[in-house]
Structure 1
Amino acid sequence: MTIHDYVQRRQLTEAARLLVDSDQPILAIALASGYESQQAFTDIFKAMYKTTPAQFREAKTYYPLQLEIHLKGEPAGMHFTKKDIRFARLSDADDWMELVRLTIDGYPCLDEVEYAHNLRRYIAEKRALILRDEGMAVGVMGFSADSGRIDFLAIHPQYRNLGMTGLFLDKLASELPEGTELSLTTYRAGDKADTGYREEFCRLGFAEKELLLEYGYPVQRLVLSGEHTIQPQGR
């Protein structure tokens, strides 16, 4: 994600909040967000949120497209293995949720309150994996063991180019019966709101399956064959 993309997404997130929490005219919000016309604002808002500003306001259901990212120094760890990934404990919950906020761009329509409630269940049922570095969560995964479905996977923005996604997939495969097919849902092809998640999954060997709607948002299910060897990403 470029700086321009980040700024645009932050502006649209603030605009979305104002649409729900204020009675400011849409044109005023558009101009305050840096757009020269209401139509230009509507076009980019719909591309990102899959609904017009007027419809978003009427629905009164706000969710952020991008929250603030406060980056730290260079990652302390550069060469992780799947042995560094462990099952999460309740004491990890706060750091886990902090990472969720940093990676909200990968999960449109995410309800943080509902998510935090479900996280405790995942932890109790040993369906939550975490990797920590320098006292913080840098990678997390929630999954359904019976189906091989990945319900949530997040990597810290500063660690996304270290092969962490493949590492988590490898770890999950080792925890499930041999040959289990892994699946997840992500953005559909061409979605302007996608900051690179779909491309990464396809590069790792996931194949396209059916188109779905999740929480009203258009997504696509991807699957990774149980016989597929996960190729390491460049570091």
Structure 2
Amino acid sequence: MAVLQRQHSGDGVARETLLATLDTWLEPGRFQDYGPNGLQVEGRARVRRLVSGVTASLALIEAAIADGADAILVHHGLFWRGQKGTVTGWMKQRLQRLLGHDVNLLAYHLPLDAHPQLGNNAQLGRRLGFAPDGDGWQRFGEQQLGFAGRSPVASLAELVSLVQTVLGRNVTVVPGDGRPIRRIGWCSGGAQGYFEAAIAAGVDAFLTGEISEPQAHLARESGVAFLAAGHHATERYGAAAVGARLAEELGLAHRFIDIDNPA
């Protein structure tokens, strides 16, 4: 479990101030999402210490409690469309820890992917050295979640090496037709369904977290390379960036805790 830490002094802020700031930055009302964005579990009214992470797993919740967190900010929250709606098993365990320690849980899913500076895609692109066109990256796909820009490397082999080095994990690759990699499209997490939109946007390669059966055929037939670098691995950066900015703006203590996940 890797831990990155930022410390700030101060008395913190009211929970409602924290939520209002996040809603202003991330604009959750703009998105049709798979679950509720914002406050998912209510804890204490004042927030001094914030922990950010990718998923509201039991391991992250326990690590945040041990760190003395008043609030946890995640990309993947507890509640999703299609759940049974019962508080049993793993759901009971997670809720029991949060409620028993009076810890707030804040979750932002698609809004955290889409933010043009702090979001998962923007942060991933910057770490990989992808360059925007003019004032910003090209956007594509449903709800404009996909990003596209200029590649810092010219070949697929170089691109694969770059991604594996930066993300620290192996990449599943389906080569295209061997064309130079001038334009790169990407969308973090389980965005393999955005591949056709990326092809239509004129990219030479597409990077996401996961691959399903159809994408291999599309890569071979379109000539556009497909790279799957891990759902968790491509979504480690948005919550950390937002947490760090909140610490700076609101005077919070902030720590990003990365719970390893092979997916």
Instruction: Place the TM-score, normalised by the shorter chain, in its bin.
Output: 0.3 to 0.5
Q: Which structure is richer in relative contact order (CA contacts within 8 A, separation 6 or more)?
A: 2
Higher helix residue share = 1
